[in-house]
Amino acid sequence: MIRLFTAVAIPAEVAEHLLPRQHGIDGARWRLPEAFHVTLKFIGDVQETEAADLDAELATIEAPAFDLELAGVGHFGEGAEIHAVWAGVAENPDLRRLAKANEAAARRAGLKPETRVYTPHVTLAYLKRPAVPEVAAWIQANNLLHSPPFRVDCFGLYSSWRTSEGSAYRLERDYPLE
């Protein structure tokens, strides 16, 4: 079994602007810059043969390259159950079309459909029962986040595995955009 997802990587120059925001919440597990990405489709655990089928379907995606910007911040979960804080992504129809194309490719490969609403974001930290006032203060302090635009000319298929430091990712294959 291999745990997979597809994503757009965040360039180093954009990641550098996110690092100074990684403080202010006790116990947060702040993500390393090399882990910053915008998930297109979470696949989950699959057999190697399913991964090969998915790879073949992803390779058929034809989509234009586009510019993307990060904008705003937010969190997943409510109250004591808040489990992540993130940088948002400015609304982008090309990104949404690419995410839908990834979803369609996964379905053609026989994988189960996503049931959650797509919320493009870059996870900055994972949290475990944080102090809600700290999270609220972090949101208020960072809510005007806005990155310069960056070019997205490919997306990738990544594997993920758990370590004592959190999840680690490896690019398995990238797919160019026109």
Q: Which residues of 151-161 are buried (b: 16+ CB within 10 A; e: fewer)?
A: ebeebbbbebe
Q: How far apart are CA 166 and CA 154, in angstroms?
A: 26
The 10s digit of each residue's pLDDT in 121-137 is 999 999 999 999 999 99
Measured over the CA atoms of residue 12, residue 33, residue 114 and residue 136, the dihedral's sign is: negative
Whole-number pLDDT of residue 164: 73
Average pLDDT over residues 47-66: 97
Whole-number pLDDT of residue 166: 75
CATH of residue 168's domain is: 3.90.1140.10
Structural domain that includes position 37: 2-176
Is 90 exceeded by the pLDDT of residue 106?
yes
- In the sheet with 2-9, reading across from the earlier edge strand, the strands are 37-46, 2-9, 154-163, 166-176
| Band of pLDDT at residue 14, cut at 50, 70 and 90 | very high
Is 90 exceeded by the pLDDT of residue 144?
yes
The 10s digit of each residue's pLDDT in 68-90 is 999 999 999 999 899 999 999 99
Q: How far apart are CA 122 and CA 73, in angstroms?
A: 9
Whole-number pLDDT of residue 24: 97
Whole-number pLDDT of residue 13: 97
The 10s digit of each residue's pLDDT in 149-176 is 999 999 999 999 988 777 899 999 999 9
Q: How many domains are contained in the chain?
A: 1
Q: What are phi and psi of 28, to 5 degrees?
A: -65, 140
Is 80 exceeded by the pLDDT of residue 62?
yes
Whole-number pLDDT of residue 162: 86
